[in-house]
Amino acid sequence: MVPGISHRYSMVKRYGRIIDVLVSNGFGYFVDKMGLRSMGSVRSRVKGRFGREQEKDTRPERARKVLEELGPTYVKFGQLLSMREDLIPLKYAQEFTKLQNDVPPFPFEDVKAVLKTELGGDIPELFSDFDEKPVAAASIGQVHKARLHSGEDVVVKIQRPGIRRIIEADLDIMYSLAGFAQQHIEEIKLYNPVAVVDELSRSIHSEMDYTQEARNIEHFLSNFENDPVIVIPRVYNDYSSDRILTLEYIEGIKCNKFEKLANENLDREKIATDVSEAFMKQVFEHGFFHADLHSGNIFALEDGRIALLDFGMAGHLSEDMRGLLVDALLAVTNGDSTQYIEVMRDLGVADEKLDVRSFKVDYDHFLFKYYGRTLDQVDATEVSSEMLSLLRKHQIQVPPNIALLFKGVMTVGGFAMQMVPDFNVTEIAEPYARKFMKKRFSPRNMAKNSSKNLWYVSRLLS
């Protein structure tokens, strides 16, 4: 078959599969609104023809099942969306957190081929030992333990062969479906599905570039170089590429293994505190933060130190942006909706199209819960989630790094409460925020700050 024709046939077949899965999970109504029913199988063209399908599961549950049935790349898309409550409704984001990487490993022959292509040698030339069985497999890649000829134990993350081509094809389809949905379905248009796919595309391309993750790790290594608690794995650049990432092997206990932590006399409250402290240093001191600090990415070491892993999702905040974010939090605790809107505009989040009157009504209702509280009395995880819902309701598009920060706060807060149910991560954040703002309003820096922010000083320094 001619390559171009073969590709078109494959795409049509994939569209048909997606239509069938949507219809079988009770989304035939949306398929009809987009005018795509004819692309499905005969069964899909018949099912639900005369009305909306009745299903016992909720719509978010059925959406999760659609992603699971469509396979690993769609599961990955769903996992990324679960981190973006600014893009999709909260119920969907929460449901998508249940998506699991139930992906079989790719054959060892493919592993050897990728290593040969990327690093220019066979396994015996590159490593003195290399485990054929991966320690983990996911939709984009898998991880093998190995040993260098110099004696260091390492882990080697290898990208799944052909995954870039598959993801590009699926993104093309998602852009097409998002365009249909945005044009024909009013209840979906609100969420700007094309912009959602834009963000998915940006995130997935970043995650597929292992050189970007290596740069992130080098940045974290520099920031925590002399830290007595936090351990960052070393990158072996000579054994890495954009499809292979070789890192120092770190022996530790995943922090969701409570029984093992207890057996090693490792204090869960200390772990929660150390991880929260590390995150606040990243945000307020470094301006570069790990956005996915869940228990699977955090190891407790037997000497009491903490190792952070998986640096594919990281965000950057300039000093000005950090200041504005603290301004926003203080506007919440001070009950000043006008000041909050000004901060949002300075951040580039709110534009002139914003219906200020409508937003203020909802925002004042939100503020009622937090007015008069000090920073250490505010649950940052709860505030972040509610704020994202409010911004999404008013179609305020959050810049990627701000969205990552919200996600990072919620993730580290969730981790800390998993370790200690009544843990309040904001109590850890409060002294870092105060230290940052004292520096910001020092005599040297005062001239750089506009007069509209000066009302914070007496409140902050009291």
- The better pLDDT of the pair 43, 100 is held by 100
Mean pLDDT of 351-362: 78
Report pLDDT for 319. 87
Q: What is the dihedral of CA 392, 397, 400, 401, to 10 degrees?
A: -80
Report pLDDT for 51. 41
Report pLDDT for 452. 46
- Whole-angstrom distance, CA of residue 306 vs CA of residue 230: 5
- Report the SS3 class of residue 361: helix
- Whole-angstrom distance, CA of residue 110 vs CA of residue 88: 37
Length of the chain (residues):
462
Report pLDDT for 3. 46
Report pLDDT for 171. 92
Q: Which residues fall within 8 angstroms of residue 321, CB to CB, at 6 or more apart?
A: 347, 401, 402
Instruction: Tell me which of 20, 292, 327, 379 is the catalytic residue.
Output: 292
Tokens read off for 414: 């969730």
Question: With contact defined as beta carbons under 8 Å apart, do 220 and 308 qualify?
Answer: yes
Mean pLDDT of 158-186: 91
Report pLDDT for 5. 55
- The better pLDDT of the pair 382, 231 is held by 231
What does the pLDDT look like over 318-329, one tens digit per residue? 988 888 887 877
For helices 425-440 and 380-393, give the axis angle rounded to 10 degrees: 80
Mean pLDDT of 82-94: 83
Question: With contact defined as beta carbons under 8 Å apart, do 12 and 174 qualify?
Answer: no
Tokens read off for 390: 């409010």
Q: Is pLDDT at 379 greater than 90 in this prediction?
A: no
- Whole-angstrom distance, CA of residue 54 vs CA of residue 52: 6
At 50, the pLDDT band (50, 70, 90 cuts) reads very low
How many CA atoms, within 13 angstroms, populate the side-chain half-sphere of residue 176? Answer: 15
Domains and CATH numbers, the chain: 3-99+166-201 (no CATH), 103-165+202-249 (3.30.200), 252-462 (no CATH)
- Whole-angstrom distance, CA of residue 419 vs CA of residue 256: 8
- Told to judge if 422 belongs to the known catalytic residues of this protein, a careful annotator would answer no
Q: Is pLDDT at 108 greater than 80 in this prediction?
A: yes
b/e sequence 429-452, b meaning 16+ C-beta within 10 Å: bbebbbebbeebbeeeeeeebeee
What does the pLDDT look like over 109-155, one tens digit per residue? 999 999 999 999 999 999 999 999 999 998 899 999 999 999 999 99
- Whole-angstrom distance, CA of residue 190 vs CA of residue 95: 20
Report pLDDT for 310. 93
| Cα maximum dimension of the chain | 76
Mean pLDDT of 36-43: 71
Lowest model confidence (mean pLDDT) among 48-57, 187-196, 259-268: 48-57
Tokens read off for 197: 């796919």
Per the prediction, the chain carries an average pLDDT of 85
Q: Is pLDDT at 107 greater than 90 in this prediction?
A: yes
Q: Report CA torsion sign: 62, 165, 137, 275.
A: negative
At 443, the pLDDT band (50, 70, 90 cuts) reads low
Q: Centre a 10 Å sphere on the Cβ of residue 421 and count the other Cβ atoms it contains.
A: 7
- The better pLDDT of the pair 403, 113 is held by 113
- The better pLDDT of the pair 106, 47 is held by 106
Report pLDDT for 7. 57
Distance of CA 380 to the CA centre of its chain: 17
Mean pLDDT of 422-440: 85
